[in-house]
Amino acid sequence: MYFVANWKMYGNTADINKSKSVIKLANLKKYKVSKIIYCPPFTLLSTFCDKVKNSNIFIGAQNCHSISEYGAFTGSINAKLIKSTGAKYIILGHSENRKCGETDIIINRKIRSATKENLKVIFCIGEKLSEKRKKNTYNVLRKQLINGLKGIKKIENIIVAYEPVWSIGTGLVPKNSELIKNIGNIKKILYKFKKSKSIKILYGGSVNPKNVKELAKIKEINGFLVGGASLNPKKFIDIIKKSII
């Protein structure tokens, strides 16, 4: 099981120290098989990497510039720079960035540059509420997957995170039957277009200690991408513990 903490635009050095209890948990035998990944803002990547050295926790970034070479791009961070901090993962295609104009083509370029640096990509896809209402979820997921992964060869470096946009930060979570159906479709699409049967699929959107037990019953889900609740180490630990019985 993967447990990915997406801190979004939150977090300072003091918050890194609060993750001590999570580091301790990650080193326990029972949790060693799971992958716990913190994705803090860029500003904390190096410090966080130092902090988790020799532990069972990994660090990831939340985005990168699409160009893989160094260059005159004021204010931007590319995959090479992220790699140099010690981070091993990166979240790409998050709906909060798609909302700001990130297209499938840009996301595809970012995935290419991140895989070139051997970063593992947590590739976010998901439908908006209006698309769900129009019963368009399948087509939206298919388009995002095909366009985002076009030409990507290192498919073993991709983890897909299914995050329905309407469930992010709203407290709303799809019914298990809906999740099983959508994740089943994602797997079929990945098999058809990428010949892959082994890509891990995470769920993200309002995951919390109260709803995680029910979500963890879905065997097709390989882990969770957690936003708000991951900032609170107690809640994050609770989520991990309740998912692994």
Contacting residues toward ligand 13P, per CB under 6 A: 6, 94, 163, 168-169, 204-207, 225-229
What are the backbone dihedrals phi and psi of residue 26, each rounded to the nearest 5 degrees, phi first?
-60, -25
CA distances from 206 to 118, 127, 191, 195, 227 (A): 29, 15, 28, 31, 7
**Cβ-proximal residue to ligand 13P, closest one:** 227
Closest contact distance (angstroms) between CB of 169 and ligand 13P is: 4
- Looking at beta carbons only, is 67 or 238 nearer to ligand 13P? 238
Ramachandran angles phi, psi of 152, nearest 5°: -80, 120
Q: How far is the CB of 34 from ligand 13P (least distance, A)?
A: 18
Of 96, 102, 131, 163, the active-site residue reads 163
163 an active-site residue? yes
- What count of Cα atoms within 13 Å lies in the side-chain half-sphere of residue 104? 14
* Residue 69 falls in the annotated catalytic set: no
Provide the token pair at 134. 């129009």
Alpha helices, DSSP H only, in the chain? 13-18, 20-26, 45-51, 79-85, 95-98, 104-116, 129-133, 137-148, 176-194, 212-215, 233-243
Residue closer to ligand 13P (CB basis): 10 or 193: 10
Shortest Cβ distance from residue 22 to ligand 13P (Å)?
16
Residue 140 Cβ vs ligand 13P, minimum distance, rounded to whole Å: 17
Out of 65, 69, 94, 214, the active site residue is 94
Amino acid at 18: K
CA 16 to chain centre: 19
Find the angle CA(177)-CA(226)-CA(83) to the nearest 5 degrees: 125
Catalytic site positions: 94, 163
